[in-house]
Structure 1
Amino acid sequence: MTQTLPAPGAAQPRRLDPFEFLSRYGTLIALALLLVFNVIFTRNFTTVQTLNVNLTQVCTIVIVAVGMTMVIGTGGIDLSVGSIMAISGALAPMIFLGTIMPIGDINLAVTLAILVALAAATVLGLFNGWLVAHFRIQPIVATLVLFIAGRGIAQVLTNGNLQVFKVPQFQWIGLGRPFGIPAQVIIMAVMVVIAAWILRRTILGRRILATGGNERAAELAGVPVTAVKLTVYAVSGFCAGVAGLIVIAINSASDANLVGMGMELDAIAAVAVGGTLLTGGKATIIGTLIGALTIQLVRYTLLANGVPDAAALVVKAVIIVIAVWLQQQGRAR
């Protein structure tokens, strides 16, 4: 049989490199394998209660990681999200409990509390962006300012006291179950969809990735880099504010010492495992969601099968290292 050879200069079919394949789909494959393992070997995994537990535990991480993904997409980082959560969580109860000023209508008080808390969180995010964009301070240093001072601000606001409350109108965002679905899951889903649409379908999304890919080239191409950075850090602050409100609503209390503690690390881990390049230029919100779910499911799987939580933290660290290494190998090819 005569074999037909390709014509000279004809394009050869591109072979998919294994490292590139794992870089793209490794987290999704890991999530699928974890689901299969738990369905077979973990008792009560398929119950609605288990699903709700895992979803409610991962929601705040995903919400914060949505903003973190956009920041990292520009080549930045935001270490202040945990402290911003604490400030947001401290402000809201002070308003609807009447600590600052008595408000007779509880519905008005709750609405005002949410708006003020989210506005404050967004302004704090803008402050981070201002330091990064206008003063050219390295993002890790700029956001370290609020990482340190932000929790102190929250503690000063509350005098270090625990704020306990029972306000159903506010607690609905953490304890509500519309149509049997946890309210925070709905909030998370809406934010993921909006953020994914922004990154994939809008001019802002293209500008975010252009800024992270090559900031100087983006400036020469007419991208308003300063405005882009201000926007993504404001979004990150807003997302942290939402997460802070959900946390205190679930706990029916606000503790400035604990709200958001370590959240910056969990969010960065979700972003890295999900496939967003930590050097910027590539970002995926859906990947971040999958990364957060994978990390949460790894921890749940280990705990459900008798592995101590300390070991689960070590495994999470190993997963992050592997994910970053696969990213580097995929880019090198």
Structure 2
Amino acid sequence: MTSESVATRPGVDLARIKAWLPAYGVYAAIVLLVLYNVAFTPNFLAWGNLRIQLIQVAPVVIVALGMALVIGTEGIDLSVGSVMALAAALIPLYLGYGVIAAILISLIAGVLVGLVNGTLVARVGLQPIVATLALFVGGRGLALVISGGQLKDIGNDDLIFLGSGDFLGLPMLVWIAALLVLVVAFIVRRTVFGRRLLAIGGNRPATELAGVPVKRVLITVYVICSVLASIAGLLAVARIQSSDASAVGLLIELSAITAVVVGGTPLTGGRVRVLGTVAGALLMQLVVATMIKHNLPSSSTEMVQAAIILIAVYAARERKSR
């Protein structure tokens, strides 16, 4: 072995680590965190604790799936929390017509918000952060107007089952989130729509020149994101058995963006890591739960989350530059 090869080996190893980190670092972090909790957190593996963690992370996963699709087109959607609040406000108004009618109305509201966001981005030409910021503010205000600013109890057993019931030993929330993960993964990997979505994020001008209906795809992406947020909103109402438009979905857009970025989906678009997004949501949930279990202040939790986000963004930047 020559001295030259020995000298270059550390650089090669470092390059491999940098290439490995964006794709698989989140999984390694989850494994390390789980091992730490098994060793130092009492009753971490108790089913009651695991059940709580899964229930708490399920809405974030659902919203993050839609956010991942939007970010895959090099966009962003800040209105998802307001869409959740809007869905929560509409549920009590139409629950008297039956749970199916109430769910459909909530989903239609999500479709309408997605159409507005998508139209502003695709046809008007506004920056995604500006277009969705309007509904980030106005959507929750509309939800508060609809609900009259009051918390309303939900007594429908069918709806409550979606948020609090079990099926084959697992919470329905988890089953619904898992099903949506499979659906989104199929869309991204196996459909023409998914390939077009990634092409837009990778190089929009070239995609337009190739004859892809870019505007239609973008509008559809924002509609899907808002519908997923509506589903998360109605499930949140079903879980807490009440509708509070001022609290449902509050700041969940930050959690969703964090899950997507930590999961390896670059903010520059062109790629969507569905399983990575789920892993990112799980990691952030584990970080929060671990620090709470060990009686650390919320300020420390926020600083750790910020550090994880910075590492993820830096790793994605390094990969993009290479």
* Range of TM-score over shorter length: over 0.9
**TM-score for both structures, normalised by structure 1:** 0.91
Q: Equivalent residue of 2:76, what SS? A: coil
> Do 1:80 and 1:147's aligned partners in 2 also have CA atoms closer than 8 Å?
yes
- Structure possessing the higher radius of gyration over alpha carbons: 1
Q: Which residue of 1 is the match for residue 311 of structure 2?
A: 322
Q: Which residue of 1 is the match for residue 79 of structure 2?
A: 80
Counterpart CA distance in 2 for 1:169 and 1:306 is 37
Once the two structures are superposed, the pairs formed by residues 82-121 of structure 1 within 5 Å of their partners are 82-96=81-95, 98=96, 103=97, 109-121=98-110
Q: Which residue of 1 is the match for residue 182 of structure 2?
A: 193
> Do 2:85 and 2:143's aligned partners in 1 also have CA atoms closer than 8 Å?
yes
Q: Give 1:316's aligned amino acid.
A: Q
Once the two structures are superposed, the pairs formed by residues 1-333 of structure 1 within 5 Å of their partners are 17-96=16-95, 98=96, 103=97, 109-333=98-322
> Do 2:264 and 2:276's aligned partners in 1 also have CA atoms closer than 8 Å?
yes
> Do 2:154 and 2:238's aligned partners in 1 also have CA atoms closer than 8 Å?
no
Counterpart CA distance in 2 for 1:151 and 1:331 is 36
After TM superposition, the runs of 4+ consecutive aligned structure 1 residues lying more than 3 A away are 13-16
C-alpha distance after superposition, 1:186-243 (max 9, x if no partner): 0000000110111111111111110001100011112111011011100000000000
Q: Equivalent residue of 1:92, what SS? A: helix
> Do 1:121 and 1:237's aligned partners in 2 also have CA atoms closer than 8 Å?
yes
Distance 1:95 1:220, change over 3 A: same
> Do 1:118 and 1:238's aligned partners in 2 also have CA atoms closer than 8 Å?
yes
Counterpart CA distance in 2 for 1:309 and 1:57 is 17
Counterpart CA distance in 2 for 1:243 and 1:185 is 12
RMSD between superposed Cα atoms in Å = 1.6
Counterpart CA distance in 1 for 2:199 and 2:271 is 9
Query: Tell me, which stretches of 5 or more residues in structure 1 are unaligned?
Result: 1-12, 104-108
**TM-score for both structures, normalised by structure 2:** 0.94
| Count of residues in Structure 1 that have an aligned counterpart in Structure 2 | 312
Counterpart CA distance in 1 for 2:65 and 2:134 is 21
> Do 1:122 and 1:237's aligned partners in 2 also have CA atoms closer than 8 Å?
yes
Q: Give 1:64's aligned amino acid.
A: V
Q: Give 2:307's aligned amino acid.
A: V
Counterpart CA distance in 2 for 1:267 and 1:23 is 17
Q: Give 2:174's aligned amino acid.
A: V
Q: Equivalent residue of 1:17, what SS? A: helix
Report how far residue 121 of structure 1 moved.
0.9
Counterpart CA distance in 2 for 1:296 and 1:32 is 13
Q: Which residue of 1 is the match for residue 9 of structure 2?
A: none
> Do 1:20 and 1:331's aligned partners in 2 also have CA atoms closer than 8 Å?
no
Counterpart CA distance in 1 for 2:309 and 2:302 is 11
